[in-house]
Structure 1
């Protein structure tokens, strides 16, 4: 029996952008993966299946009870949480909305059912924390848990494995299997063929907002035409773009460590995050930072980037100066380029892709002064390197999640900073763009003067120039500490 039927559907994604001529039938016993490049229309396809897009023409029959979990949904929730945050007004950090209250809100489930599902998902310990303190992976689990408590007929998961460590990915795969066993129909929206789960019966490949190919799993995976179409072709730039000399900073003192942390600890209320972290990044070193979801990787990076006030209560020196010795946050930011999920969540101002890249030269979210013609030329060179030049005049907020990530990578690299902090830089990227970005980061690390800090969960995403490693591991007494490899 066909449960989902789309016939010649045209649906509006944004003003001037549409899903076109979508024809698809999904039987009750089928579980699909929709795969495609960044900006191809995968997320829009997920919304269409959950009755979340206006259908302009054609026939659409989709389940009444459905749930859609995506990066964008997380961004919307955290934006509301930031709007309601009273921490600045009160003078101390508030808990905000607790995880258990967030999950139960709008559902008919009780705390016993939540406790049972949280145990299955392996995140019982975070139920009493505020959602604004969750890692990317923890927030993903909370959203999936909330969706499942609504007992959907159809569960659509948009890039469910991005940002999850290996153990969490294994738990999520088991949860997807359990959902299917209980009778929930599952559709996965994926950038990577490698993330297709065993229960997937059919695959649709989407390109330019149309279904390019679809069919049974094995037939699609064996398709020579699909492999040729999805092949990687990228040439590294012979020379990196110039740096805007008008915004350059004085050279670093030779021999001084870029980062020197001694016995650093961070806690929020009763929750210990980091404990006794001692770590030095010397001139010329590139580092990989690893650890499970919730171990404090993003907290560690925020101590460096200047966004965490607890940095001033610890013994931390950056670029040869002790934190709190008179330097401003902006003095630090001038030497740093940053890509992270939290930055992408915060970059909500209006403006074009081109302006978003130029803002990296000013370390601002948006532009509030006139930029120069030379700055524009440099920004456009970086966009061309990342194959985003054709989107230069589009609104940043209208891009897909993966396209936004590419623009923020250009923004971080545009000034070729002394320190490039990459917190899950490939999150949301398809196979082709991921390989392009990894090759470009390695090229920058080998040929430029930039040193790299790289946080990543996917063991396939390797950068050859990175030879140093630091792993956050459980510390005696609680929290996590550094194990240097």
Structure 2
């Protein structure tokens, strides 16, 4: 057997993960014949999706023993999958953006374990951002899916043309006239606590989000970011009776979950799992007016015109099947979808995971513009600061044995 190598693969053209990985495997086996006889293990979003599906069908994913896999944060899911894979002693480990969506401690753990494995198995890292390159990588290659070709990686200067075009054009108008808000505080928490069984997740959280503020929410994996967001979106039943208000109403005072959601535009990459059918980009975008997964109502001429303006701004073909768009294109459509209905609060949960630097720059420009050209308040969830993002406030969750506490401050 040939000495194992660590390879870095940069996909060109930002294809979808599903079409990329299958063709990449075939191309690598042709370029490195010894890989054809070895067993492959995969660390990717589609691998995580398989375990989530297994849990929904059989009640157990097979990965997490202490609580449901679906209840874990994105970083915890990735660590659970990674721990399973390294226990299987893989011969070829194919990893898609393994170091993204991780806090520094988990990133250090991944690096240590991968370095140990690198002398025993091939490690093939698919990445979009060179700052997450494994430091002992032997070869860096570009992969062009159109021609099924590998070539030495070429560092290219980042194009700002797309981001500049968005800045120059500005955002499309809204379809409906905005209804005046009857509240000043969108979120007001006064000593909120959250427990799962005997485990305290959040303790004594004091946080107020007022109209037209831009908050960046950060914290390590498992610190409670997802749980905090679920309390805001109304999806966490433990919100009833807690000392906090949403959009001027005390939680549990008779409001429905749908009333809460009517004030919120929300995007997290997990939502993409629900849009795998044959809808085109225009239909997915228009469904944002109705908060539906799929378009089941006839949009007005004005809504249709504005949705087309959004896709033109984002340079995405109207009729392309949504599932065939690149990761970056899908996330731009979903972010615009969350913003279409002119919500008082827009929540973006780790939206740039798996995007290349040019796509991240475009996404950041779009988010900054959404805040600048609307009255909406924004909450942007991330593990690491995005260069160019311009929040007005920050909230950091800091883990303690008794539950995470919150540190809030104004950005100077």
Please give the TM-score of this superposition, normalised by the length of structure 2: 0.89
| Cα displacement (A) at 1:349 | 5.4
Q: Which structure 2 residues correspond to residues 328-407 of structure 1 after superposition, within 5 A?
A: 328-348=256-276, 350-387=278-315, 389-390=316-317, 392-407=318-333
> Which residue of structure 2 aligns with residue 203 of structure 1?
140
Secondary structure of the residue that 1:313 maps to in structure 2? coil
The separation in 2 between residues aligned to 1:396 and 1:137, in whole angstroms, is: 26
Which of 302, 318, 325 lines up with 2:246 in the alignment? 318
8 Å Cα contact 2:11/2:144 also seen in 1: yes
- Is contact 2:267-2:335 (8 Å) kept? yes
TM-aligned CA distance change 1:267 to 1:397, over 3 Å? farther
Residues 52 and 369 (structure 1), Cα distance of their counterparts in 2 relative to 1, 3 Å cut: farther
Contact 1:71 1:401 in 2 (8 A): no
Equivalent in 374, 394, 398 of residue 469 of structure 1: 394
Q: Is there any run of 5+ residues in structure 1 with no aligned partner, and where?
A: 4-27, 85-95, 104-125
Deviation at 1:315, TM superposition (A): 2.0
Change (3 A) 1:462 1:127: farther
Can you list the C-alpha shifts for 1:60-108, whole angstroms capped at 9, x where unaligned? 9624311111112212321332344xxxxxxxxxxx537xxx24xxxxx
- Structure with the larger RCO, 1 or 2 (CA within 8 Å, 6+ apart): 2
Q: CA separation of 1:348/1:211 partners in 2, compared to 1, >3 Å: closer, same or farther?
A: closer
Which whole-Å CA distance do the structure 2 matches of 1:180 and 1:290 have between them? 31
Residue 74 (structure 2) aligns with: 136
Instruction: Describe the superposition over 1:118-162 as per-residue Cα deviations: whole angstroms up to 9, x where unpaired.
Output: xxxxxxxx7523212211111111112222222221100011122
Given the superposition, is the C-alpha separation of residues 61 and 154 from structure 1 closer, same or farther in structure 2, using an over 3 Å criterion? closer
* CA displacement at 1:412 relative to structure 2: 1.2
Q: Does 1:62 align with 2:25?
A: no
Count of residue correspondences: 404
SS at match of 1:258: strand
Query: Shift in Å at residue 264 of structure 1?
Result: 1.3
355 and 60 in structure 1: CA distance in 2 versus 1, 3 angstrom threshold: farther
Using the alignment, how far apart are the partners of 2:111 and 2:26 within structure 1?
Answer: 25
- d(CA) in 2 for partners of 1:77 and 1:399? 24
Q: Residue 366 of structure 1: CA displacement?
A: 1.6
Q: Does 2:127 correspond to 1:190?
A: yes
Report if the CA contact (8 A) 1:37-1:430 is conserved. Answer: no
Equivalent in 240, 244, 247 of residue 171 of structure 2: 240
Q: What does residue 407 of structure 2 align with?
A: 483
The CA RMSD over aligned residues, in Å, is 2.8
Aligned residues of 2:27 and 2:149 also touching (Cα < 8 A) = no
Structure 1 residues 82, 41: CA separation in 2 closer, same or farther (over 3 Å shift)?
Answer: closer
Counterpart CA distance in 2 for 1:370 and 1:60 is 55
Structure 2 unpaired stretches of 5+:
none
TM-score by length of 1: 0.76
SS at match of 1:227: coil
Match of 2:93 in 1: 155
Cα distance, 1:363–1:42 mapped onto 2, change above 3 Å: closer
Flag the 1:40–1:232 CA change in 2: closer, same or farther, 3 A.
Answer: farther
Aligned position for 1:296: 224
Deviation at 1:453, TM superposition (A): 0.4
SS at match of 1:151: coil
**Match of 1:375, SS?**
helix
